[in-house]
Structures are given as C-alpha cells and as structure tokens.
Amino acid sequence: MNIAHFFTLLRIFISPVFPLLYLQYEWLGIPFAYLPYILLFFLLICECSDLFDGYLARRWNLVTDLGKILDPVADCVTHISLFVTFTQGIVQLPLFFVLIFIYRELFIGALRTLCALKGFALAARLSGKIKAVMQAVVCSSIIALMIPYSEGVISLELFQRISFILVALTVFYTLISVADYIVANRKYIRQAIYP
C-alpha cells in the first residue's frame, strides 16, 4: 500500500454514496435542489483522486502491479455505479445502455486475464482512456443538468432526452473502444486462444 493506492481505494469506497444519495435523498432529509451540488462534490472528489493517484504513482515512482489493476477497477466502479443509479429516479436511463458498459469491462477484463495467464500483458489503449473520460464528462453533465431541472428552467422530458443522447453517444464510443482493443491486440489474443 502507498499513497497512490489510497486515492484509488478512496474512489471505490465513495462510489456507493451516489446511489444512496440519489435514491434516498428524501429519507436523508436532503432538499432536491441541493442534491445535484452534493453529487457533483462527491464526483469531483472521485475524479480528482483519479488524477492524483496517477500523478503520484509516476512522480514518486510508486507504480505497482496492484495499482495497475486497481486504477481501472476504481474507474469502472465509480462510473458504473452512477450509470446504474441513473436507470432509476428522474433520469431513467435504459438498462441496456448500462449493460453494454458492464459487458465491455467484463470482456476486456477476461481478455487481459487470459493473456496474462499465457505470459503476456495487454497494454491499455488510448481509446479506453477516452472512454473513461467520456463517461466522467457525461456523468457530470447529467448531474449538472439536474440543477436547471430542479429550478424549473428545463422540463423533465428535455432533461431525460439530453441525458439519453449523451449516454447513447458514450455507448457508441464504448463499442468502438472494444473493437479498437481487439484489433490492436489481435496477435496476442490469437496466441492466447490458439497457442
């Protein structure tokens, strides 16, 4: 364990806060008008900790195998927690979209594990990093859109339509990132499947 791992684990432990606040804000006594600001605060902590753990790991030579595994897991847990949460309440995202995100992570994780067992590691792709940034931006945007909705500036229908379009674009790019990962690593994947 090191300080970089601490920031990575912080993201994982904060992630359950999102569904708790979003789904139970009335029970917790939180006015809906305050909810988006609270959610944005916790999301900001998660995204900043993502920047810090990578920076510290490189700056202080704290890059470890554990960190290489935990970092993408923390990203996945944070964003998937939010997207699953947004299938409920006012956002009402299609569950199908969230399943694509989950299947992508499981598929890439299975490929990495299979190749690792055969003795070679699959490098992360830029497309995967862009996918993670897109997910973070879209999650932030949906929460930010809750502010004008809570103030009556935009209707629920418009809020849901914009949220749907943003996530649909992210789903589309997620599928592109899977294809990019397979094509870029096809040599290693073929060796792992057909030794």
For residue range 165-188, list pLDDT tens digits in order: 999 999 999 999 999 988 888 887
Reply yes or no on whether the pLDDT at 156 is more than 90: yes
Separation between Cα atoms, residue 192 and residue 30, nearest integer Å: 52
What was the pLDDT predicted at 111?
82
What was the pLDDT predicted at 193?
74
In the chain, where are the structural domains located?
A: 3-193
CATH of 3-193, one of 2.60.40, 1.10.10, 1.20.120, 1.25.10: 1.20.120
Reply yes or no on whether the pLDDT at 164 is more than 80: yes
Reply yes or no on whether the pLDDT at 114 is more than 90: no
Separation between Cα atoms, residue 23 and residue 121, nearest integer Å: 40
Q: Report the mean per-residue pLDDT for the chain.
A: 88
What was the pLDDT predicted at 108?
87
145 in Cβ contact with 162 (< 8 Å): yes
Residue 83 burial (10 A CB sphere; 0-12, 13-18, 19+): buried
98 in Cβ contact with 83 (< 8 Å): yes
> Residue 97: which of 112, 110, 86 has the closest Cα?
86
Q: How confident is the model at residue 195 (pLDDT cuts 50, 70, 90)?
A: low
**Distance spanning both ends of the chain, measured CA to CA:** 36
145 in Cβ contact with 86 (< 8 Å): no
Cα–Cα distances in Å, from 193 out to 41, 81, 110?
A: 44, 32, 12
H-helix segments, 25-120: 35-59, 65-85, 95-117
67 in Cβ contact with 74 (< 8 Å): no
What was the pLDDT predicted at 153?
95
Separation between Cα atoms, residue 82 and residue 26, nearest integer Å: 18
Count other Cβ atoms within 10 Å, centred on residue 29. 7
For the chain, percent of residues with pLDDT exceeding 90 = 56
Say what the pTM is: 0.89
